[in-house]
Amino acid sequence: MEKRTITEKTIEMFHQHLLNEEKSTNTVEKYIRDVKAFMCFSDGAEIIRELVIEYHSGQ
């Protein structure tokens, strides 16, 4: 099973998905800003439930 991580490539794919879904500019900007912040927090670690909980508890 492949390790799930966030990369610039996955962020770009997500960005394109949001545009295809016709999300508003502000929504797209916020979602991308949030996922980039999480990417920095995760620092290349595998995205697992415990990491997400840790991220949310620090918010």
Residue 1 has pLDDT above 80, yes or no: no
Its pTM stands at 0.87
pLDDT in tens, 11-32: 999 999 999 999 999 999 999 9
Give domain limits for the chain.
8-57
Distance CA 36, CA 9 (A): 12
Could you tell me if 42 and 59 are in contact, meaning their C-beta atoms sit under 8 angstroms apart? Answer: no
CA 6 from centre of chain: 6
Token pair belonging to 40: 């920095």
